[in-house]
Amino acid sequence: MALDLAQFHDAFFEESFEALDTMEASLLKLNVGSPDKELINTIFRVAHSIKGGSATFGFSDVAMFTHTLETMLDELRSGKMLVSRAISDLLLKSVDVMREMLRAVQQKLPTDVQRVADLQFDLEVMIAQKPGSQSAVAAPPPAAVPAPVVSLPDLPANGELGTHRWRVDFRGLPQLFVHGNDPLRMLRELSELGRLESSVDFGQLPKLSDLNPENCYLSWQLFLTSEVTREVVASVFDWAEGDCELKIAGHVPQFAAAHKQEAATARVSGSNDPVVEVVRATAGGDSSSIRVSIEKIDELMNAVGELVITQSMLSQVGAREANGNAVLRAGLLQLERNVRELQENVMRVRMLPISFVFSRFPRMVRDLSQRLGKQVELKVTGDQTELDKTVMERIGDPLTHLVRNCVDHGIEKPDVRIAAGKSPIGTVHLEAYHKGGSIIVEVSDDGGGLNKQKILEKARARDLIGATDTLTDEQVYDLVFMAGFSTADQTTDISGRGVGMDVVRRNVKELGGNIELRSEAGLGSRFIINLPLTLAIVDGQSVSVGSETYIVPLTTIVESLQLKPSMINNVVGHGEVCSFREEYVPIIRLHEIFGVQPRTHELHEGLLMIVEGEGRRVGLFVDDLLGQQQVVIKSLETNYRHVSGVSGATILGDGSVALILDVPGLIRVAADRQAA
């Protein structure tokens, strides 16, 4: 029965794309001239692993290209070539091509054969020229290390101490073939590393009637004479890890048995250990993680959401029917704690570090700064801060726009920075941190800051503001987020079309967040994005307005208070305001916004909830506060249509529907009504 390898394709592609991200991150850390050898080894292992997997699954084009790349990496690893800017660029382009080739194979689309061939030719030319090899030869030898006092009488006259004879004992476990491993391919790769001697053991082979063609019954004893290190030998078997028993022992060729033991006990600090033993984990080893599809997590999240609603219903029923039944009350409280703990645990499953988004920017900043003739350093802080996978996927594009704008518009050319007394190297800073129940992501630069006068001139030229209008800094910066607005003098493929900043604000608002812009001339700009940790569940304060119940997210509430008539004023052009902490806060009457009949129209007879959104504070006038609770967000647009000032809806414990308020949206709705 032929083994269908297609069942393993999804896992191969997923792991390969993750490996390419690791490879790209390592390449960006390479220093020109004398790179970190461990980084080179990491990059080599990724290329080798992808080559092996591609060959196993029959993706020959990917395997052939990666083999050429692997050859260059081997030259770098052995010191025969030194890393230069040109080589670094070629390696990064190779990552892009490999990613494109794998994506084309995955989606069953044609590969750009010419692009692949051109880059492969450039790699082969670079390998043939071996730039930097002369300097490598001329480099001074490393400091001498005391050698172990060991007699080597059997060493051949032409033998080199760098040459090893590796013994590899390789036994395939029954599932070796099922998981797509090909021992013949491994033997071929070993033979490319040096002189290989092999023998196979058929001792475990059963009778033909008992033989399962999908099981492996063979084991091999291999001897490899080569200059490669143990890590290179072990990397050949990377794809078989967990599906084999592997033992690698190495020594200098032709050591007599007596001298092997003597050499092993004659180690000197700093010298090479002539005997190395490595044992690979078998399939019985424990694994610290498993892969689960996001669809299953979403289904689990929906089930927990319905459980939260059911628990809320039971709590309301229990509060009415308990009648002094302490056992029932205690059981309901325990249920509430358990449901909350379950919900938090499921939420953590969906949480991922924001480094998954931040990791795309080092390469982008490097390439963009080179194109623009600028020197830019990317600084990342808080990249292990976690947020919901859905939020993270949708914040990637807005952050990309912001980082590109910082490099293009914010950071000045080196000569301009030097003239201003700055370092020629500009800095773009990405930072993420938790604040209350939200996550804050900041994108800042130390460039020239926004030119307010230029923004005003562009706005007046497009009749966005009047010729004599006076705007605050916040209002000026708000113009940047208007559709089609741009201060660029010329349109390029990077910026200048006015498409970007309005999309950033819209995408952030769709996530239930807000964005704030601050800038200082000569010192730079800072974009501050406030995002919810998740889009599924929110902690809210229930309020009543007439017969209706609304949910106000707790993260937006500053304070709730009962007004005195002396605290209320009417300001021309601003309507009703109240005095709060030495500032005047506009009052929004929710019953007017949503067209409901309130219990009272007198402000001092109801309650005022001070809320904050997009850096502005307002007071929401409500009849009463009902209590805090955790609610499951249901999309209003999916089931009805978009409603300004409302971010979604939820089902309450009594089965009724309550609207979840969008505070920034409410502020905009109230401002539009006031202007009208």
In terms of domains, do 474 and 401 share one?
yes
Helix, strand, coil content of the chain in percent (nearest 5): 45, 25, 35
- What is the distance between the alpha carbons of residues 610 and 587, in angstroms, rounded to a whole number? 9
Q: Which of 443, 372, 367 is nearest to 412 (CA)?
A: 372
Check pLDDT > 80 for residue 659: yes
Residue 444: what pLDDT?
93
Tokens of 189: 């790769």
In terms of domains, do 406 and 526 share one?
yes
- What is the distance between the alpha carbons of residues 362 and 236, in angstroms, rounded to a whole number? 30
Least confident of 106-110, 210-214, 216-220, 287-291: 287-291
In terms of domains, do 618 and 559 share one?
yes
In terms of domains, do 401 and 524 share one?
yes
In terms of domains, do 550 and 527 share one?
no
- What is the distance between the alpha carbons of residues 258 and 153, in angstroms, rounded to a whole number? 11
Task: Give pLDDT tens digits for 312-330.
Answer: 778 777 777 766 677 888 8
Burial class (CB within 10 angstroms; exposed 0-12, middle 13-18, buried 19+) of 300: middle
Percent of the chain with pLDDT over 70: 83
Least confident of 137-141, 453-457, 668-672: 137-141
Higher pLDDT among residues 186 and 156, named by residue: 186
Give pairs for 368-372: CB < 8 Å, separation 24+: 368/404, 368/407, 368/408, 368/494, 369/407, 369/411, 371/494, 372/407, 372/408, 372/494
Check pLDDT > 50 for residue 544: yes
Residue 148: what pLDDT?
34
Check pLDDT > 60 for residue 498: no
Residue 486: what pLDDT?
66
Of the pLDDT bands very low, low, confident and very high (cuts 50, 70, 90), residue 259 is: very low
Residue 330: what pLDDT?
84
Higher pLDDT among residues 393 and 487, named by residue: 393
Q: Which of 212, 210, 214, 234 is nearest to 222 (CA)?
A: 234
Residue 488: what pLDDT?
61
- What is the distance between the alpha carbons of residues 658 and 550, in angstroms, rounded to a whole number? 5
Check pLDDT > 70 for residue 254: no
CATH of the domain at 438: 3.30.565.10
Higher pLDDT among residues 161 and 94, named by residue: 94
Higher pLDDT among residues 536 and 107, named by residue: 107
Higher pLDDT among residues 604 and 156, named by residue: 604
CA distances from 138 to 80, 241, 383 (A): 12, 40, 42
Q: pTM (2 decimals)? A: 0.59
Indicate whether 153 belongs to any domain: no
**Boundary-marking domain end, from 532, 553, 585:** 532
Burial class (CB within 10 angstroms; exposed 0-12, middle 13-18, buried 19+) of 226: buried
Indicate whether 409 belongs to any domain: yes
Residue 437: what pLDDT?
67
Indicate whether 478 belongs to any domain: yes
**Boundary-marking domain end, from 352, 371, 391:** 352
In terms of domains, do 596 and 512 share one?
no
Residue 479: what pLDDT?
81
CB 98 within 8 A of CB 65: yes
Check pLDDT > 60 for residue 397: yes
Tokens of 93: 């382009």
- What is the distance between the alpha carbons of residues 473 and 480, in angstroms, rounded to a whole number? 12
In terms of domains, do 445 and 520 share one?
yes
Higher pLDDT among residues 620 and 36, named by residue: 620
Residue 310: what pLDDT?
82
**Which residue type sits at 384?**
Q
How many domains in the chain? 5
CATH of the domain at 643: 2.40.50.180
Higher pLDDT among residues 448 and 350, named by residue: 448
Q: Which of 542, 536, 546, 531 is nearest to 595 (CA)?
A: 546
In terms of domains, do 200 and 305 share one?
no
Check pLDDT > 80 for residue 636: no
| Mean pLDDT score, 233-239 | 83
Least confident of 180-194, 197-211, 547-561: 180-194
Higher pLDDT among residues 90 and 627, named by residue: 90
Residue 154: what pLDDT?
37
Enter the DSSP assignment of 28: H
Tokens of 269: 């600090």
Check pLDDT > 50 for residue 336: yes
Residue 156: what pLDDT?
37
In terms of domains, do 488 and 421 share one?
yes
In terms of domains, do 344 and 364 share one?
no
Residue 487: what pLDDT?
63
Task: Give pLDDT tens digits for 69-88.
Answer: 888 888 888 778 888 888 88
Least confident of 262-276, 286-300, 353-367: 262-276
In terms of domains, do 572 and 441 share one?
no
Indicate whether 154 belongs to any domain: no
Q: Which residue's structure tokens are 């955790």?
A: 630
| Mean pLDDT score, 354-359 | 86
Percent of the chain with pLDDT over 90: 7
Residue 496: what pLDDT?
46
**Boundary-marking domain end, from 532, 551, 571:** 532
In terms of domains, do 408 and 360 share one?
yes
Range of the domain at 71: 5-135
Higher pLDDT among residues 553 and 309, named by residue: 553
CATH of the domain at 47: 1.20.120.160
Least confident of 89-103, 199-213, 526-540, 546-560: 526-540
Residue 425: what pLDDT?
92
Residue 443: what pLDDT?
93
